[in-house]
Amino acid sequence: MNALSVRGLTKRYPHFCLDAVSFDVAEGHIAGLIGGNGAGKSTLLKGILHLIDAAGEVSVFGEPFRADEVRLKQQIGFVGGGFRFYPMKRLAAIRSVYAAFYQNWNDETYRSCLRRFGLDERKRVRELSDGMKVKFSLALALSHGAKLLLLDEPTSGLDPLSREEFCDILLSLSREEKTTVLFSTHISSDLLRTADDVLLLSRGKLPESRPLPELLARWKTVLFSTAKEAAAANAAGVKKTKDGFEGLMTQGAPLPANAACRAATLDEILIHLEQTQKEDNAHADTH
């Protein structure tokens, strides 16, 4: 069963368009949404949650989201990149207000999360590190029985140790409690550590959406001597390097003579498909 299904999600702004994005996230999976700055990651998450008015269809655990939005939101937890509001408030005061919105709020679960994450409810928000703010947001999300977590760049700005700890928490939630997670990031190592599936968002489009091992097995990075050779091979997202030219090709595509190849990294896949999207947009603008 899919915990989340998105079909044709579209949001148009004067200088940006989230363009008919469709994908599924299976129940209990961790799906990583990766893309550069301005790719549309936050717009996509806000569109899913109906925080902005976007066209398209969203289903949560098989039910149309907008037909019963208030009830289904009880099953969803949303976490941004740290808790930025009410810096002078104590965590206990924020918890009291937050809990009132959720029918299934469980104070025992909340207290368990505080112990698990090492949080002191007597502290004020301003006294928390960025990592602790993320943990507090996650504790709030988990304490109303959320089975689907949408996380908007939760590890942005965290140090490597805090990011590692956060990734451990996601893996524990997915593997032990069957919680489904969709989180956006631009840090590929976080995806390699946690993700079952990868959604690669580029300039409002979704050129890749597949299991992580399948994505890495699909592409190879090919090194060419000249741009002409790269063009003749139909390589994707060709970029000049100090040693020649580099582009992506699928694993089954025949290699041109004198070209060298290696397995593509996640960063290379992102960079070259982003370059392809940039070229496609530029071509469209001239016609």
Topology (CATH level 3) of domain 2-202: Rossmann fold (3.40.50)
Q: Is the dihedral of CA 235, 256, 225, 243 positive or negative?
A: positive
pLDDT for position 107:
94
SS3 154: coil
Could you tell me which residues are beta bridge partners of residue 253? none
Q: Where is 224: in which H helix or E strand?
A: strand 219-224
pTM above 0.85, yes or no: yes
Asked whether the predicted pLDDT for residue 287 surpasses 60, the reply is: no
DSSP secondary structure letter of residue 1? -
Per-domain residue ranges for the chain? 2-202, 215-285
pLDDT for position 95:
94
Q: In 3D, which of 271, 266, 281, 214 has the Cα closest to residue 247?
A: 271
Q: Alpha helix (H) ranges present in 143-211? A: 160-177, 188-194
Find the Cα–Cα–Cα–Cα dihedral 31, 36, 40, 42, rounded to 10°: 60
pLDDT for position 37:
85
Q: Which of 5-9, 167-171, 279-283 has the least mean pLDDT? A: 279-283
In this structure, what token pair is assigned to residue 110? 């909340």
Q: How far apart are CA 152 and CA 82, in angstroms?
A: 9
Q: Which of 16-20, 43-47, 280-284 has the least mean pLDDT? A: 280-284
Asked whether the predicted pLDDT for residue 201 surpasses 80, the reply is: yes
In this structure, what token pair is assigned to residue 3? 């915990």
At 186, the pLDDT band (50, 70, 90 cuts) reads confident
Question: Residue-wise over 121-155: b if at least 16 C-beta within 10 A, else e?
Answer: eeeebeebebbbbbbbbbbbbbbbebbbbbbbbbb
